[in-house]
Structure 1
Amino acid sequence: MEDIKERGNQTIVTEFIFLGFSNHSKLQGLFFLIFLLVYLVTLLGNLLILTAIRINPVLHTPMYYFLSNLSFLDICYTSTTVPIMLVNFFRKKKTISYGGCLSQLFFLVTFSGSECVLLAAMAYDRFIAICHPLHYPILMSKRVCACLATGSWLCGLINSLTHTGLTATLTLCGPNQISHFLCDIPLLLKLSCSDTSINEVALYVSSATIGLCPCLFTAVSYMLIISAILKIQSAQGRQKAFSTCASHLTVVVIYYGTGNFNYDRPSSGSSLDVDILVSVLFCVVTPMLNPIIYSLRNKDVKVALKKLCEGYILPSNSNVQISS
């Protein structure tokens, strides 16, 4: 086989075969159309969010600064896995090179880890805005926001460099079949014939630091936020305060919920179809839902998107003016 070579007495894997969706060979065309549509909606939705925030001065606030980072992350995250998956729908042998697999693993872990920490930073922003509104301009200055966003990216990058480096040291001696549509750390550990104890310890440590800690921080933040909202006297005030964090809370529940179900559920007894479905929800559907949630539940974003669309639809020689 071309994808497995002999080096001395050792078998070296140079290519992997994806088995994802292999149980439904007659539905490849339908799957391609569905995932292509989801991918295009994801790109369009997040690009619209980025553009609306960029050109509308009203949205030049910490909350929307973090949202623009989230939209960019979602574009990168979904682009790591979906394009090659779309190409493989037309291949009888759905393969990825060893280098391509490590590259996909690196970017996948980077973007997912960064998003975990970024969502916690967004929760901190909402906590300061609702619980300490008088100190908000100081505690959430441009410098603080830039540090939080940069820290989120660095956490994801350092975590990914660690795991990718450890994975590259593994001896993969076959089989070269991955029961999925993407390269992920637990999947490659199953294919290793060398000691994976260090990799497993690193995986547990990163799950606690990059996964669990931001999740707990976000949960505590929202408990304090809800407590502060309930102390507001007027119903209108409570509704206004809650509306400022409703979109982010929805995104947090979906992301951490699908992520936890994807990585922390028992591996024994689950079928290939179930594994694929859960990963599709986490890796493909969630990035598409984020801009939809913010555009439906956030009034400022809806207004900005409406102005953006009107600006492109109206002819250049129109006398109609769009107020800023």
Structure 2
Amino acid sequence: MKKVALLATALAMVSGSAFAADLPTKALKAPPPPAFEPWDIAFGSAIMNDYIFRGITQSNHQASVAAYFEPRYNVNKDLQLYLGVSGESISFPNRAAAEIDVYGGIRPTFGMFAFDFGVWGYLYPGGQCFNAGAFPGSGIPGSELNCVLNGSLPNGNVAKRDASFFEGYAKLNIALNDQWSVGFNEYYSPNFLNLGAWGNYSSVTAKWTAPGTIFGSTGIGMYVSGEFGRQWLGTSDAFYGVTSVLANYSAGIPEPSYNTWNVGVGFTWKVFTLDLRYYDTDLSKASCNAFTSDFQTKDFNPAFITAINPGGFGSNWCGAAGVAKLSADLTAITNLK
């Protein structure tokens, strides 16, 4: 009798469990989607063995440090407004203390197409004027008393006290897939480097990002990228004018336009990026000296004497250079929450 009772109890428990399994269960509530964050801040810093801008060293082939701070406002997921400020250590002919950049713009995105439109101001505070011939009242732009007191640079080159200028820009990046992207860039300045000459820079870029599993679970990423660009330049003002038996450019020299390119490989880990890159241009040493007013050129060669470079000095500021750059880039939403 006891056995029958135990068997009945067991059957009841089994049937009860099976019945419970057939009952409708209350669905778990899905977690809410992440809240839309309209405000964000990007910031970072970098150290490099050379600061290269469009193929030309800005630090006399010496080490440079940089930092930036960029508040952003996301109107929606496809439209961002931004303002930013950045700074780089430099070594300019006019002895400017640093490069301070102030910029702002708008970044609309349409699927695979990411646009960027804005204005960039390059400020070079603390500069001095070097041009013994630009005495006050000479009519040469930028003429001031300390130009005469400072004289010209040791190699005869001249430099304005202020090299500040601004550019308007338009950029497009196309994400072809998860690994490949290409870009197109356009910059224009009515007075590039305060030379008195307009400047127009156009370039194309390409980037390949390695699959995330290439280094296993280490978290290390890798990319390969390159750029080809051309810098067009107009005629300078009289401050940079020269006169020689070859030509009379007292009103200003035709600044040399040039091609530039770079290619490199980068490695990423968390917020850090190590970029190893090769830069070069097709500027001759003579044209480089005339364009940059390199203050340390000691390489004299009669072959370097040209209509815009009558002194015969050459500069290596525009030649091949290898740059190693270590940077850290963070955003408040991603890294500080």
TM-score range, shorter chain: under 0.3
Which of the pair is proportionally richer in helix?
Answer: 1
Which of the pair is proportionally richer in strand?
Answer: 2
TM value normalised by structure 2: 0.25
Greater relative CO (CA pairs within 8 A, separation 6+):
1
Larger radius of gyration: 2
TM value normalised by structure 1: 0.26
